[in-house]
Structure 1
């Protein structure tokens, strides 16, 4: 389809998008009403409504009950820096993921035993239904929600050891590398996959976003001698984060 053959609602949305990006419609400005869009662009109510829906789906505007549709303030994207994994005792994974060490990070967590699903079992190379320790995290930067993480560790390795609970015991919060070293498992490899998808409602709300917005997902697995010892999904709002790689050249 040629550019000029775009549906009317996309052409209207495109023009309004340009005005938002250019600052002609700055944050917190009320978007022209449906009637105003209809008159200004010579389109139907349906086209005007669909154009607004496009801008809402893109996260450029938001509806306010009983007030109208307003231009959203675009947050500055915080870099999530991937620099490789450091030696035991230097840093927790969360601190490594923060680009600015001056930003005070904190987290909440909850651990419980469960059975490995098919997806988790495949990543940990164990049988479906085997016991795992699941830990859910909510990470904050300067008090604001930043990331969600869910990790799974096979209890066949960590059960009945001092590190069975990631956030309790003598090595609470010290990170997977150091915790596993305490039970004679040397983490020597880490794999990561990064993907994007529409966020689940509970994810985006927990992160201070709007249902329907996209999230970045870092799927990470730690290995010790080829054996997976932990796997995790780290979820963050795409509009607030960017992945930055700084990798050494050997």
Structure 2
């Protein structure tokens, strides 16, 4: 077995001390130099360990003050299920309503955008073929000419496609963990390189043709993703 990287070992040490209540919520951690000397590692190793725990919501960095034990955050449960996929509804909005919150979003749409290689492959297009691109920023607590414009705004993929004679039969999701980009971190209000779950979701017509694809980025420290699997009887 390969040896565990030093920063992961130090992260485990810090996590264990919090679990044993050596430090509790709101406590300021000793300086990096103190922790480094005690654990026999360099300060950069301690810094990487703390950044990892900050990205996971265990610690909180305060500019000019230090690093503190973070207040435990309640993670929002995001349920992915065919039972929740209603023709005219939004699974995200349903999840927020279940938590007593208002789920909403802002969007920016561009028409006639050349499809990048990855998107073109998912939609069965040639690279550079024109498509419509919409960027959504989801909020909690506060799609046929264009997905969020015109008479079919906000009615969901199934209804929008039905308006132009396309029957959507199913969607496929591919989740993958990774670190947030700088732009994603800024939009989501999380630390750069924090852990996120990237879901590639593609809708297909009853003819097997991909008609719409989406990239959904969910902060791991703020949301837990749960898949409900129907069982036939």
- TM-score bucket (shorter structure): 0.7 to 0.9
Q: Which residue is 2:16 aligned to?
A: 18
Q: Which residue is 2:66 aligned to?
A: 68
Q: Which residue is 2:192 aligned to?
A: 211
Return the alpha-carbon distance in structure 2 between the equivalents of residues 92 and 38 of structure 1: 48
Query: Which piece of structure 1 moves more, 216-225 or 11-20?
Result: 11-20
- Paired residue total: 226
What is the Cα deviation at residue 118 of structure 1? 0.9
Does 2:180 match 1:199? yes
Matches within 5 A, 1:230-245: 230-245=212-227
Q: Which residue is 2:106 aligned to?
A: 108
Q: CA offsets per residue over residues 114-149 of structure 1, 9 Å max, x none?
A: 001111110000111111000000010113xxxxxx
Runs of 5+ consecutive residues of structure 2 not aligned to the other structure: none
Runs of 5+ consecutive residues of structure 1 not aligned to the other structure: 144-161
Shift of the 173–15 alpha-carbon distance from structure 1 to 2, 3 Å rule, reads same
Return the alpha-carbon distance in structure 2 between the equivalents of residues 226 and 11 of structure 1: 48
Query: Which piece of structure 1 moves more, 73-82 or 130-139?
Result: 73-82
Shift of the 99–197 alpha-carbon distance from structure 1 to 2, 3 Å rule, reads farther
Does 2:227 match 1:248? no
Does 2:43 match 1:58? no
Shift of the 138–11 alpha-carbon distance from structure 1 to 2, 3 Å rule, reads closer
What is the Cα deviation at residue 165 of structure 1? 0.6
Shift of the 13–172 alpha-carbon distance from structure 1 to 2, 3 Å rule, reads closer
TM value normalised by structure 1: 0.80
Return the alpha-carbon distance in structure 2 between the equivalents of residues 61 and 203 of structure 1: 20
SS of the residue corresponding to residue 131 of structure 2 reads strand
**Please, which of 202, 209, 228 is the counterpart of residue 210 of structure 2?**
228
Q: Which residue is 1:82 aligned to?
A: 80
Return the alpha-carbon distance in structure 2 between the equivalents of residues 118 and 184 of structure 1: 27
Instruction: Kindly indicate whether the alpha-carbon contact (under 8 Å) linking 2:6 and 2:45 is maintained by their aligned counterparts in 1.
Output: no
What is the Cα deviation at residue 222 of structure 1? 0.5
Return the alpha-carbon distance in structure 1 between the equivalents of residues 226 and 59 of structure 2: 27
Return the alpha-carbon distance in structure 1 between the equivalents of residues 68 and 210 of structure 2: 47
Does 2:160 match 1:179? yes
Instruction: Kindly indicate whether the alpha-carbon contact (under 8 Å) linking 1:192 and 1:219 is maintained by their aligned counterparts in 2.
Output: yes
Q: Rg larger in 1 or in 2?
A: 1
Shift of the 71–199 alpha-carbon distance from structure 1 to 2, 3 Å rule, reads same
Instruction: Kindly indicate whether the alpha-carbon contact (under 8 Å) linking 2:10 and 2:49 is maintained by their aligned counterparts in 1.
Output: no
Shift of the 14–246 alpha-carbon distance from structure 1 to 2, 3 Å rule, reads closer
Instruction: Kindly indicate whether the alpha-carbon contact (under 8 Å) linking 1:77 and 1:239 is maintained by their aligned counterparts in 2.
Output: yes
Query: Which piece of structure 1 moves more, 133-142 or 30-39?
Result: 30-39
Q: Which residue is 1:140 aligned to?
A: 139
Instruction: Kindly indicate whether the alpha-carbon contact (under 8 Å) linking 1:79 and 1:99 is maintained by their aligned counterparts in 2.
Output: no
